[in-house]
Structure 1
Amino acid sequence: MIDAFKYEQSVSNFVAFISAVTFSFFVNSKLTFKKRPTTTGYMIYIGIMGFLSILSGYVGDRCNTSPMFMLISFSVISLVIGYFSAKHLVFKDNTALLNKSELVTTPPLADRLLCDPDAVRHS
């Protein structure tokens, strides 16, 4: 991409990162967790994976580590942390957080209006 579009390496890396994380988010949403993707979930996932990417680059620079070693280690770390963050933060099952006593048993106002026109006064 650097030669084809005359971009700096950082721009190419950013485009590749966004493409990979976006693909991962939607594949995880549809195939792995079978959940509907949300904008909030996408932003959380991008934030987590972006932080991992920056941290990996920082560690590699500070420790003067081989770029190939950092690429392989980032791939493994992002695979593991990406899966667990997606499972427990991005695509978590919100209904498991509710106690049975917290579930609302009152029907919505629109349903009550269909059965009882006086429900407006009681709401």
Structure 2
Amino acid sequence: MLKLFSRYISVGVINTALHWVCFGALLHFFEATQAVANVIAFFIAVTFSFFANARWTFKSKVTSGRYIAFVTFMGIMAGLTGYIADAISAPPVVTLVTFSGFSLIAGFIYSKFIVFRDAK
């Protein structure tokens, strides 16, 4: 289980970097708004995360149902974290750190026991 979690963390680090690079590039080169840049960067990063975790972390089959389940869950977590942060006027860095930590743990549990539950 520790090896599996270590792989999940590795994918998460790359996923986070990908999200930040895409976000920055969309802002800088395409003059996108933060909202548009964040949504596009989220979908790029979560798609990478799904495929990397399916193949490398869980060694599982990629299906459209699994993809939809993974993206929906991660999107709901991101949205709820942002909503709560707005409601309590949390600084953006607190939101980012909180979401990163929570999504690491909750995303791993959800992936292991729901999305990729039949993985070997």
2:19 alignment partner in structure 1: none
Given candidates 83, 89, 94, the residue that maps to 1:64 is: 89
Q: What percentage of residue pairs aligned between the two structures are identical?
A: 38
User: C-alpha offsets along residues 19-76 of structure 1, whole Å, 9 cap, x if unaligned?
Assistant: 1111111111011110011100000000000000000100110000011011011001
1:1-123, aligned counterparts within 5 Å?
Answer: 1-93=26-118
> Once superposed, which parts of structure 1, at least 4 consecutive aligned residues long, lie more than 4 Å away?
none
Aligned length: 94
Helix, strand or coil: the match of 1:65? coil
Give RMSD over aligned pairs.
Answer: 1.2
Higher fraction of helix: 2
Displacement of 1:17 = 0.6
Kindly name which structure, 1 or 2, has the bigger radius of gyration based on alpha carbons: 1
Gaps of at least 5 residues in structure 1 are 95-123
Structure with more contact order per residue of length (Cα contacts < 8 Å, sep ≥ 6): 2
Residue 3 of structure 1, CA deviation: 2.8
CA distance in 1, matches of 2:45, 2:110: 16
SS across alignment from 1:60:
helix
Partner SS for 1:64 = coil
Q: Structure 1-normalised TM-score?
A: 0.73
- Structure 1 stretch 80-89 or stretch 39-48: which is displaced more? 80-89
